[in-house]
Amino acid sequence: MRRYQDFSSLTAPSTLAIVLLFALILITGCGTGSHRAAAPPSLPPPVPSAEPVLLFNGTGTSSTDVSAVEAVLQTLNVGYITADSPQLNAMSEPQLAGFKLIIIPGGNFIDIGKSLTAETTGNIQKAVYQGLNYLGICAGGFLAGNTRNNSFNIANGVQFKFYSAEDKGIRKTAVAITNADGTIIEHYWEDGPQFSGWGDVVSKYPDGTPATVQGNYGSGWVVLTGVHAEAPESWRKEFHFSTSIENSHNYAAKLIKSALEKTVMPHF
């Protein structure tokens, strides 16, 4: 049996056609060998915002937590604009990309997801991939994962679980987190997530699961925390904290600065 076709009897046009056919097969074969996930498409040119931070204060968010985040931003002298659910839903991709950082605070992540359109969550996902930074606090941390309920899904498809205190029936408490530099700070926690499976671990809960993580999604810098370092005194008064509220607020400022400036924090 012959292994190779004898082309000597073919005319020149036929030979050329076969050569071109082989070349096409080779090119096609190389193209199908790639299994990389498709990146979100490039966005139109961004529309620069007058302020660097977009703070979401829409349906499902805790108004008290929004105010607490605002207080930290004001202490840092960082300019921001707030947007409720209809306003965020009305923003285009270029408008979102014009901000340096979007902050999704604490609240009810299911209600937040329901208040936003699928187009909006998709726009935010694409904007983060193209360079918009993201800070998710508690509910905002859940929404960075795959909640299967209209989330932003900027954590490689990971679905985040509640910190283990939830399994014991504890809904809110003071919790001591250990930072990568060895410091321990007690923060207010309420129905917050832990972030196993994604990012570099900046701090850990007492059970060793990640309380704060950081990492890239495309060109965007993402910081997620399951505790409320920004919590006001009114939230803390029913619990005993061994560390001061100033320590917690300084930690909240550190998280905002990291997210805004794409600064890598010490991690395990």
Note the pLDDT tens digit of each residue in 117-135: 999 999 999 999 999 999 9
Asked if 186 and 175 touch (Cβ cutoff 8 Å), the reply is yes
Question: pLDDT value at position 82?
Answer: 98
Residue 227 and residue 137: Cα distance in Å, rounded? 7
Question: pLDDT value at position 44?
Answer: 78
154 closest CA partner among 127, 119, 194, 118: 127
Q: What is the pLDDT of residues 225-265, one digit of tens each?
A: 999 999 999 999 999 999 999 999 999 999 999 999 999 99
> What are the distances in angstroms from CA 110 to CA 9, 59, 114, 116?
72, 10, 6, 10
Residue 45: which pLDDT band, with cuts at 50, 70 and 90?
A: confident
Please indicate whether residue 17 or residue 165 has the higher confidence score (pLDDT): 165
Residue 194 and residue 253: Cα distance in Å, rounded? 20
Question: pLDDT value at position 18?
Answer: 36
